[in-house]
Structure 1
Amino acid sequence: MNNKSLLKKTLLATTIALVSQQGAAAGFQLVEHSATGLGRAFAGEGAVADNAAVGARNPAAMALFDTAAFSGGISYINPDVDADVTSTAGDSGKAKDIAPDAWVPNIHYIHPVNDKFAVGTSVFSNYGLSTEYPKEIGSLGGGNTELMTVNWAVNGSYRINEQFSVGAGVNVLYADAEMNRYMPPAVLGGARAVKMEGDGYGYGWNVGTLWEINPDNRIALTYRSNIDTTLEGKGDFLREGLTNTSAELDIDFPDLWELSGYHKVAPEWAVSYSVLRTGWSSFKELKATSSLCKVGNGACFTKKENWDDAWRYSLGVTHYLNSQWTLRAGVALDKSPVPSEHRTLSIPDSDRYWYSFGATYNFQQNMTVDFGFAYLDGNQKKGQEVEYAGALPVTYDFEAGGDAYIFAAQYSYWF
């Protein structure tokens, strides 16, 4: 294995995160930015501000910090996803554990400049995907699909007065993707129909506001722009008779709106909530293009998606047990953006329900360790997908779904 291949595999093993029922928000969005947030099902993420991880969700909330703060953590996602496939071309069967496990790291830092301004930075992943089917099951629709993203955000905040703060920032997103599809074994001996791999950068921005009604009640509204990214790389396209040819794949990562709140309802108790809207309606298709692809008039591979905008609702509770321990729990409903008529083998998405809990232990006044756990209940969903082996239509009827478990740990320090 050469150094480039080894580096790519290492990145995928340590920084990708997974969807298709496996521990992320619906579609191929990720919300695993902190162990603290995981413990309350990421309810109130833009308003709670219990450590530096809030910079990834609301730059305005950095105004709450009067000293520099650091947080770093990692989430382990353990999905259990199966698919039962019936094919008109004979590549039928039950594919078990189609979503591999993954580790998802994050790191955050906030630095107050004075009593009005603060700056910060975060590195995390917003989107990811990995599904692996056996070559002989759902060959043209399944195959294997991998998407890894790393988002670097640089933010600033300004405190207008004692109640209102605003913030804004820029995002640099790096994406690396690979996709393989195969002919059914009875067609051309199961030859590879499509291979596409590439990487690229995209750029976006985000803004946030924070209303401190009083020290015990806060409401936040945030927006993150879409990021249109072009992945450049190499592809093999059997239909075109091309191998190792230069090609591009465009991915429009969606915009995000989030309303969140935090309310300390008693000296030892607080509730938090979030409503998150993801603009998945921008995800219309996957298309790989090259000037060398003549059959498709420049389109080497096209797959219609036609997703809808999606909503996520979460509710959390925090119990300040004593000076050393803080306990939390949460629930969430994550609505799928994938209409039933557009559900595919590569992303057999469905609604999912989150049940989570977590804890913070204070080693000392300026140092904490957080732990979080979540169980995701994903429904089994049926779908139908039609692909073409040359001019031969192949129909795949399938039922896919499963559950997932997320474990997270995090270290935070205030300077």
Structure 2
Amino acid sequence: KVTLPDSWAIGYNHKFDDRTRVELNGTYTKWSTYDALNISFDDPMGIPGGTIPGSYSQKNWSNGWRYALGVEHKLSDKYTIMGGYAYDESVIPFDGADFIVPTGARRTYSLGFQYHDKKQTLAMTLGFIDIDGLSIKGHIAAGDTYDTARSHDNYAKVVGISYQRNF
């Protein structure tokens, strides 16, 4: 069972003309409701009499904001280019961080294009996420072999492809 946190978004979209528009938005997420990640198994993968230990990890994350800016510009009736930037605050405290989600603040840069006609839309985007480092407190009682660790030089590359067919 997974319960996701509540979030609220507010945005503004401005169309300069028939070819160019800009969108600004902010999203507030109540990550404080994510107080623990507990994993347990009702049926340990069909092993008769077998047990697989669960994983119990306190999180106690903070609430946080995500700010984003996007631009679209139509080059013609069929081709559009897109660009974007987003900034996500780090919501993970020193004693609630781990290597499952070892993330500090994030900056996402993206570029993309669309081809569209009356019957279909094809979009491709490339993104680069620059992720700040984060100090992580070890929990010796839980089996960690370190007092403190630090993630650093983190990044992610994202490729998106979508296709829409109108009937």
> TM-score w.r.t. structure 1 length?
0.35
The CA distance in 2 between the partners of 1:337 and 1:377, in whole Å, is: 16
Whether the 8 Å CA contact 2:66–2:89 is kept in 1: the answer is yes
The CA distance in 2 between the partners of 1:301 and 1:325, in whole Å, is: 49
Give 1 or 2: higher helix fraction.
1
Change (3 A) 1:270 1:304: same
In structure 2, the partner of 1:285 is 36
1:370 and 2:123 correspond: yes
Aligned partner (choices 159, 163, 166) of residue 411 of structure 1 = 163
Q: What are the Cα deviations for residues 66-97 of structure 1, in whole angstroms up to 9, with x where unaligned?
A: xxxxxxxxxxxxxxxxxxxxxxxxxxxxxxxx
The CA distance in 1 between the partners of 2:161 and 2:142, in whole Å, is: 46
1:311 and 2:65 correspond: yes
Alignment of 1:203-242 (within 5 A): 229=1
Change (3 A) 1:284 1:321: same
Letter in 2 for 1:382: S
In structure 2, the partner of 1:384 is 137
Change (3 A) 1:389 1:336: closer
Please tell me the root mean square deviation across aligned C-alpha atoms, in Å. 2.3
Change (3 A) 1:327 1:301: closer
Change (3 A) 1:383 1:332: same
The CA distance in 2 between the partners of 1:345 and 1:365, in whole Å, is: 46
In structure 2, the partner of 1:67 is none
Give 3-state SS (helix, strand or coil) of 1:274's partner. strand
Greater relative CO (CA pairs within 8 A, separation 6+)? 1
In structure 1, the partner of 2:46 is none
Q: What are the Cα deviations for residues 369-393 of structure 1, in whole angstroms up to 9, with x where unaligned?
A: 1111111001122222213268xx8
> TM-score w.r.t. structure 2 length?
0.81
State the 1:301 CA deviation: 4.9
Task: Give the greater-gyration-radius structure (CA).
Answer: 1
Alignment of 1:29-178 (within 5 A): none
Query: In the comparison of the two structures, how many residue pairs are matched?
Result: 155
Give 3-state SS (helix, strand or coil) of 2:138's partner. strand
In structure 1, the partner of 2:85 is 331
Give 1 or 2: higher strand fraction.
1
Whether the 8 Å CA contact 1:343–1:385 is kept in 2: the answer is no
Identity of aligned residues (%): 25
Whether the 8 Å CA contact 1:345–1:385 is kept in 2: the answer is no
1:357 and 2:108 correspond: no
